[in-house]
């Protein structure tokens, strides 16, 4: 990734710059008094009780923000807009994949959230009781999250693409008492079932007392009497009156599971006041949100992006947004652009992998739609390659729109490094600058800042309001994973480079985490899934570069002696991973090999396997315990190739 040449800088237009919510002065203002700055941003929220201290860092790295303050996240996302006389403003413009549409104003959203909150209470869910949500992208997903937030029941949303096994392990780790799901949702032109995975998962989830089921597709569902309850019946019967309790600023809002470097996903805990402050501030500032904007983020609520920039950020800011259930190519490849045209979307936020897919489909597809309503574009999930950046800005943004490349993580809760659309002379491929009030650096092995032009590790050097508070039920792992590499620094797991101007370029993960289509997958988790198959003795997984998805999962497998090497074994192993984790984790290729390259201490040298997977000359293999292994792997592979 090179430096942008001078002609590649994209400056905001003068009209955009002068009308922007944030100008260059904000950086200095935030740097002058970082905590005072965040306290001011907390003023974007309505507090039932004011906080008495901005940050308590005495028990670092376990932070408490806005100490002593009390508030309700759902009240802040919904009711206060109604109270302020904006009840008729549209909150959600839902577009179902089959073409059905539904509009919810803030007043209607308030009724739905209150009724759902009362229904949850009636089912025995109290403050502090964990709830799991496994839903398609329908308005009820937003309502369910807000209803949980309203009564102080922390939620964990599990992406609908995860398998029953993955759902079960999350439900049990979280200790969920209730699961909210649907019969199914529409994907790729067909009804796709969700409830069977819940039924399967619940065969061993002893804490779950009830399942609340949204009717979406009308497909047949198995029904467990006494346990299962229809959402439409329970919610319709409930009162739309509900007093939102004032909760502590540090009350748990949600847990989002994400892949780490071990086989067990980490439950990242976010709490109320700090998280909501940063989500609301960054939504407003980074997307330059104005009251008349129509915003659309294509992320699923099953990921952190769907939490911070579909639910909590936009709704706290009182935004009008599009919520789309389906895939970009159903029923045709112009579906997204058609939605933008129809709803006059002005701010659009998606992932580089989706942009590259649209590039592949051809510029003539978006050219067939009127995209002139767009004024800000954003990306998230991985670095955007300069070519895709230019295509996005020119073909989708008409060469008018700033593009904000937002770097952040499940753990950071909100945007951390990004250009501001009315300030930056943006460089295609660079995430540029820490958000005002955020302190980041690029350091070397010794923890010293690198010189301009050098690469190193990305660290966050000061606490920030939306930071993860801990790993659910595993505080030691929280300290160990993020805070132990350099004293006082949060280590993000990403490599980065500072260019000559001091701007930051992200270089990808430096640990055993892969990024496939903007989704985080753990090599170890997939390896564990493979080893759980009776035919597999050992497995090593790597992420190989892929033009469209960023990385693709490639698995090297040593079979057990005597295993039946039937014709479809590699196919079976791919399916096995999909069943254990979910289709997103399915290896692109499974290669049967006689050996794996290991160091003398037994550590698998994934770097060498990546070389093979990417058809490169094999790099330095001098630390291998057995130098001939790579030849064996190559020879073995040609004997048993396995590709889609
Ligand atoms: O490697 C970085 C990459 O995605 C990781 C975080 O993944 P996750 O927690 O699933 O959250 C994704 C949505 C926030 C990071 O460690 N990443 C995310 N955004 C960018 C990025 N890499 C480069 N540039 C980005 N804009």
Element (H, E) at 639: helix 629-639
Read out DSSP for 595-621?
---BBTT--B-HHHHHHHHTTPPP---
User: Cα(256) to centroid of ligand 1, in Å?
Assistant: 14
Ligand 1 within 6 A of 258 CB?
Answer: yes
Please tell me the distance from the alpha carbon of residue 346 to that of residue 375, in angstroms, as a whole number: 5
303 domain-assigned: no
Ligand 1 within 6 A of 304 CB?
Answer: yes
Best probe residue, ligand 1, of 266, 381, 492 (max atoms within 8 Å of C-beta): 381
173 domain-assigned: yes
* Secondary structure (H, E, C), 341-394: HHHCCCEEEECHHHHHHHHHHCCHHHHCCCCCCCCEEEECCCCCCHHHHHHHHH
Beta bridge partners of 255: 269
User: Cα(522) to centroid of ligand 1, in Å?
Assistant: 14
Contact of 599 with 605, CB cutoff 8 Å: yes
User: Cα(412) to centroid of ligand 1, in Å?
Assistant: 10
617 domain-assigned: yes
Please tell me the distance from the alpha carbon of residue 243 to that of residue 185, in angstroms, as a whole number: 32
Please tell me the distance from the alpha carbon of residue 4 to that of residue 20, in angstroms, as a whole number: 24
Contact of 72 with 150, CB cutoff 8 Å: yes
Residue 541 sits at the vertex; the CA angle it makes with 528 and 536, to the nearest 5 degrees, is: 50
Q: In what order do the strands lie in the sheet with 294-297?
A: 101-105, 90-95, 320-324, 294-297, 347-350, 376-379, 403-405
Question: Residue with the nearest Cα to atom 4 of ligand 1?
Answer: 381
Those residues with Cβ within 8 angstroms of residue 16's Cβ, 6 or more apart along the chain or in another chain:
288, 375, 402, 421, 422
Give the torsion through C-alpha atoms of 513, 514, 515, 519, to 10 deg. Answer: -70
Contact of 66 with 52, CB cutoff 8 Å: no
Please state whether beta strands 178-182 and 210-214 pair in parallel, antiparallel, or not at all (unpaired): parallel
User: Cα(410) to centroid of ligand 1, in Å?
Assistant: 8
435 domain-assigned: no
Q: Which of 182, 215, 248 is the last residue of a domain?
A: 248
Please tell me the distance from the alpha carbon of residue 301 to that of residue 192, in angstroms, as a whole number: 17
Residues in the chain: 644
The upper half-sphere exposure of residue 373, i.e. CA atoms within 13 Å in the direction of its Cβ, equals: 19
Beta bridge partners of 256: 268
pLDDT of the residue at 644: 35
pLDDT digits (tens, 9 = 90+) for 1-10: 444 444 589 9
Read out DSSP for 148-199?
HHHHT--EEE--TTS-HHHHHHHHHHHT-SEEEEESEEEETTEEEE-HHHHH
58 domain-assigned: no
Please tell me the distance from the alpha carbon of residue 52 to that of residue 580, in angstroms, as a whole number: 47
C-alpha closest to that of 66 among 77, 55, 76? 55
The upper half-sphere exposure of residue 424, i.e. CA atoms within 13 Å in the direction of its Cβ, equals: 31
User: Is residue 413 helix, strand or coil?
Assistant: coil
pLDDT of the residue at 211: 98
Please tell me the distance from the alpha carbon of residue 461 to that of residue 282, in angstroms, as a whole number: 19
Which residues of the chain have a pLDDT value below 50?
A: 1-6, 638-644
C-alpha closest to that of 151 among 117, 176, 185? 117
User: Is residue 468 helix, strand or coil?
Assistant: coil
Ligand 1 within 6 A of 408 CB?
Answer: yes
Element (H, E) at 104: strand 101-105
* C-alpha pair distances (Å), 123 with each of 318, 411, 464: 30, 31, 36
User: Cα(353) to centroid of ligand 1, in Å?
Assistant: 12
Ligand 1 atom, smallest distance to 418 CA: 26
CATH of the domain at 605: 3.30.300.30
Q: Which of 223, 248, 273 is the last residue of a domain?
A: 248
485 domain-assigned: no
User: Cα(215) to centroid of ligand 1, in Å?
Assistant: 34
Q: Which of 226, 248, 270 is the last residue of a domain?
A: 248
Which residue range(s) make up the domain with 623?
A: 513-640
Please tell me the distance from the alpha carbon of residue 274 to that of residue 414, in angstroms, as a whole number: 10
Those residues with Cβ within 8 angstroms of residue 121's Cβ, 6 or more apart along the chain or in another chain:
151
CATH of the domain at 243: 3.40.50.12780
User: Is residue 24 helix, strand or coil?
Assistant: coil
Please tell me the distance from the alpha carbon of residue 383 to that of residue 551, in angstroms, as a whole number: 12
506 domain-assigned: no
First to last CA, the chain: 30
Ligand 1 within 6 A of 77 CB?
Answer: no
Ligand 1 within 6 A of 505 CB?
Answer: no
Element (H, E) at 570: helix 569-580
Contact of 225 with 248, CB cutoff 8 Å: no
User: Is residue 526 helix, strand or coil?
Assistant: helix
112 domain-assigned: yes
pLDDT digits (tens, 9 = 90+) for 567-578: 789 999 999 999
Contact of 167 with 198, CB cutoff 8 Å: yes
Provide the domain count of the chain.
2
Contact of 142 with 311, CB cutoff 8 Å: yes
């Amino acid at each position: 990734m090179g430096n942008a040449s001078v002609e590649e800088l994209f400056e905001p237009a003068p009209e955009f710059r002068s009308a922007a919510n944030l100008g260059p002065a904000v950086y200095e203002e935030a740097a002058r008094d970082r905590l005072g700055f965040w306290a001011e941003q907390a003023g974007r929220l309505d507090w039932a009780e004011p906080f008495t201290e901005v940050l308590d860092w005495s028990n670092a790295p376990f932070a408490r923000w806005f100490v002593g303050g009390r508030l309700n996240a759902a009240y802040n996302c919904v009711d206060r807009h109604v109270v302020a006389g904006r009840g008729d403003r549209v909150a959600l413009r839902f577009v179902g994949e089959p073409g059905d549409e539904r509009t919810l104003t803030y007043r209607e959203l308030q009724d739905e959230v209150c009724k759902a909150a009362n229904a949850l209470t009636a089912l025995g869910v109290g403050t502090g009781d964990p709830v799991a949500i496994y839903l398609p992208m329908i308005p009820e997903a937003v309502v369910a999250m807000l209803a949980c937030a309203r009564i102080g029941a922390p939620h964990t949303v599990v992406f609908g693409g995860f398998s029953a096994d993955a759902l079960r392990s999350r439900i049990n780790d979280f200790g969920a008492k209730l699961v909210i799901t649907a019969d199914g949702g529409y994907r790729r032109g067909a009804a796709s079932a969700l409830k069977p995975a819940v039924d399967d998962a619940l065969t061993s989830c002893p804490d779950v007392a009830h399942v609340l089921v949204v009717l979406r597709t009308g497909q047949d569902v198995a029904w467990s009497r006494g346990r299962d309850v229809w959402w439409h019946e329970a919610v319709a019967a409930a009162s739309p009156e509900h007093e939102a309790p004032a909760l502590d600023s540090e009350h748990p809002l949600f847990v989002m599971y994400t892949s780490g470097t071990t086989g067990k996903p980490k439950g990242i805990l976010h709490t109320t006041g700090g998280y909501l402050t940063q989500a609301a501030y960054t939504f407003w500032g980074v997307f330059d949100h104005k009251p008349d904007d129509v915003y659309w983020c294509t992320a699923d609520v099953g990921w952190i992006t769907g939490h911070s920039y579909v639910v909590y950020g936009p709704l706290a800011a009182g935004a009008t947004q599009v919520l789309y259930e389906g895939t970009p190519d159903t029923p045709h490849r112009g579906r997204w652009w058609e939605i933008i045209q129809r709803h006059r979307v002005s701010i659009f936020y998606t992932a580089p992998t989706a942009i590259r897919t649209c590039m592949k489909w051809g510029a003539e597809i978006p050219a067939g739609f009127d995209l002139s309503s767009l004024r800000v574009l954003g990306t998230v999930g991985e670095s955007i390659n300069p070519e895709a950046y230019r295509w996005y800005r020119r073909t989708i943004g008409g060469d008018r729109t700033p593009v904000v490349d937002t770097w952040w993580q499940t753990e950071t809760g909100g945007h951390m490094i990004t250009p501001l659309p009315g300030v930056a002379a943006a460089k295609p491929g660079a995430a540029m600058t820490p958000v005002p009030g955020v302190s980041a650096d690029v350091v070397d092995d010794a923890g010293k800042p690198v010189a301009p032009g050098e690469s190193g590790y990305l660290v966050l050097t000061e606490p920030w309001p939306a930071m993860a508070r801990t790993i659910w039920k595993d505080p030691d792992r929280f300290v160990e994973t993020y805070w132990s590499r350099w004293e006082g620094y949060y280590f993000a797991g990403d490599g980065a480079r500072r260019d000559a101007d001091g701007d930051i370029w992200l270089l990808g993960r430096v640990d055993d985490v892969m990024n496939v289509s903007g989704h985080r997958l753990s090599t170890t988790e997939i390896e564990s899934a493979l080893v759980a198959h009776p035919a597999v003795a050992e497995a090593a997984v790597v992420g190989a570069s892929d033009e469209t998805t960023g990385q693709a999962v490639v698995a090297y497998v040593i079979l057990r002696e005597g295993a039946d090497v039937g014709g479809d074994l590699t196919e079976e192993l791919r399916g096995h991973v999909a069943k254990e984790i979910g289709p997103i984790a399915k290896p692109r290729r499974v290669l049967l090999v006689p050996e794996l390259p290991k160091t003398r201490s037994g550590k698998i040298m994934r770097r060498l396997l990546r070389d093979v997977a990417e058809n490169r000359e094999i790099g330095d293999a001098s630390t291998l315990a057995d130098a001939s292994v790579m030849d064996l792997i190559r020879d073995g592979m040609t004997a048993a190739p396995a590709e889609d």
